Amino acid sequence: MNQNNNNSAAVIIDPLPAHRIDSGALARWLQREVPDAGNGLTVRQFQGGMSNPTYLLTTSDGTRYVLRKKPPGDLLPKAHAIDREFRVMGALQNTDVPVPEMVAYCDDPGVIGAEFYVMKHVEGRIIPADDMGSVTAEERTPLSRSLISTLGSLHRVDWRQAGLESFGRPEGYLGRQTSRWSSQYEAAKSSLPADFDYSEMDWLRDWLMDHSQVPDESAIVHGDYRIGNAIVHPEKPVVISVLDWELSTIGHPLADLAYLCLHYHLPGELGGTADRPQPGLPTEQEALAWYCEQTGRKGIPDWPVFLAFAFFRGAAIAQGVAARAARGNVSTASMDPAVAGNRARQLAKAGANIARSLAGA
């Protein structure tokens, strides 16, 4: 979250009409939690995310905080789990994983209309695109290494010792997650045009259910790990904080790695690098080798299965964004439901192609 005047600056606007909050009520709550917060409070909204509305809070003395809350309107079951975000980042405070400092959580929707939490603001750069086009070619290799090193640090955390015993079930992760995301995309259909073609999504779902019995491993998984959900040092190619933990749980670490590597299999029109490799970016094999080096792995088994699952989940997420955009409660004003719906279908097709070609389906 960054206000530097460059192309890595976060976009911050006055809150959208659907996301306005009572700044007076929020200021009174914040003063109870942080007595030195000051009397005045300015509230502005970050743009770019599609899920939980995120705000920059500036107090009268210039101190800045960040607030995340659930969006308004009807929500899909188990979506927008800001309580999980707050819990996991709190558990990671004293580990090697860089996360913002948590301030307080509010489970009373009567304060601003929804549950929310507040954390310390972290000054740095936001790099939205997986191709790292907004950083120099010289920075891309060390920044990629930092991104993978941070992921390795996350997966090495002892989640039991961190107090996350009840945060998720480690066994049968891919099968459970495939079922969960199938339910999410089915629930989103009611808000979308009846003529959407779901054939590739259905095929990919069925294939995953038949191929999801991979050997169990357990780690804290982020669920949406990519450069766009990290804060990068203002001047150095180093990840200094990881954001957006809504999908975090205990699960298979290779699911995070596969999601991070999706851009290697996507064309440029979908934000990928398959048809336009960027100078300084590692190849997929180099990225996998770095991850193995960081985590002590000897290899990456069942890689096509994890890639196919990452595409399936990405498609389900895109469909959920399309449904929320159609209902008018998406967090970014410019999101078109037709664009997000088309992305969902393209991601599903890409995942099905990987399943068919790489796994001999």
Task: Check residues 167 and 73 and name the one with the higher pLDDT.
Answer: 167
Within this chain, do residues 283 and 211 fall inside the same structural domain, yes or no?
yes
Which pLDDT belongs to residue 163?
96
- Do 235 and 341 share a domain, yes or no? yes
Residue 6 pLDDT: 44
User: Last residue of some domain: 64, 85, 120?
Assistant: 120
Q: State mean pLDDT over 235-264.
A: 96
Tell me the mean pLDDT in the region 336-342: 80
Of the residues 120, 154, 185, the one at which a domain ends:
120
Mean pLDDT of 12-18: 83
Give the residue from 120, 154, 189 where a domain finishes.
120
Q: What gap in Å lies between CA 67 and CA 325, rounded to an integer?
A: 22
Indicate whether 186 and 223 sit together in one domain: yes
Tell me the β-bridge partners of 46. Answer: 12
In a domain, 29, yes or no: yes
305: left (phi over 0), alpha (psi -120 to 50) or beta: alpha
> What pLDDT band is residue 260 in, cutting at 50, 70 and 90?
very high
The pLDDT value given to residue 2: 38
SS3 30: helix
- Token couple for 277: 């490799």
* pLDDT at 3 exceeding the cut of 50: no
State mean pLDDT over 123-151.
95
Residue 201 dihedral angles phi and psi, to the nearest 5°: -65, -45
Same domain, 97 and 203: no
Residues 156 and 300 in one domain: yes
Whether residue 307 is contained in a domain is answered as yes
Please indicate, yes or no, if residue 6 is contained in any of the structural domains.
Answer: no
Task: Examine residue 254 and state whether it is found in any structural domain, yes or no.
Answer: yes
Minimum mean pLDDT among 119-123, 183-187, 217-221, 338-342: which range? Answer: 338-342
Does residue 167 sit in the same domain as residue 309?
Answer: yes
Each residue of 63-101: pLDDT tens digit? 999 999 987 655 555 556 899 999 999 999 999 999 999
**Model confidence at 271: pLDDT above 50:** yes
**125 domain residue, yes or no:** no
pLDDT of amino acid 74: 55
Is 144 contained in some domain?
yes
Give pLDDT, residue 5: 35
Q: Which residue, 245, 235, 251, is CA-closest to 135?
A: 235
In this model, does residue 361 exceed pLDDT 70? no
In sequence order, the 6+-apart residues with CB closer than 8 A to the CB of 38 are 31, 59, 60, 61, 63
Q: What is the pLDDT of residues 197-232, one digit of tens each?
A: 888 999 999 999 999 999 999 999 999 999 999 999
Q: Are residues 34 and 158 in the same domain?
A: no
The share of the chain scoring above pLDDT 90, in percent, equals 65
pLDDT of residue 4: 38
What secondary structure letter does DSSP report for 107? -
> Do 309 and 211 meet the contact criterion of CB atoms below 8 Å apart?
no
List strands edge to edge, sheet with 102-106.
Answer: 11-13, 41-47, 54-59, 64-69, 116-120, 102-106
Residues 107 and 149 in one domain: no
Residue 49: the pLDDT is 59
**What pLDDT, on the 0 to 100 scale, is given for residue 1?**
40
Give the CATH number of the domain where residue 116 resides. 3.30.200.20
Separation of alpha carbons 129 and 208, rounded Å: 28
* Higher-scoring residue by pLDDT: 9, 115: 115
Q: Do 116 and 142 reside in the same domain of the chain?
A: no
Q: Please indicate, yes or no, whether residues 200 and 281 belong to a single structural domain of this protein.
A: yes
How far apart are the C-alpha atoms of 196 and 67, rounded to whole Å?
A: 35
Query: 282: domain range?
Result: 137-358
Residue 244: CATH number of its domain: 3.90.1200.10
Q: Are residues 107 and 154 in the same domain?
A: no
E strand or H helix at 142: helix 137-156
> Do 290 and 264 reside in the same domain of the chain?
yes
Give per-residue pLDDT as tens, 296-327.
999 999 999 999 999 999 999 888 888 877 77
What total number of domains does the chain contain?
A: 2
Q: Which two tokens stand for residue 100?
A: 């913002």
Type of residue numbered 26: L
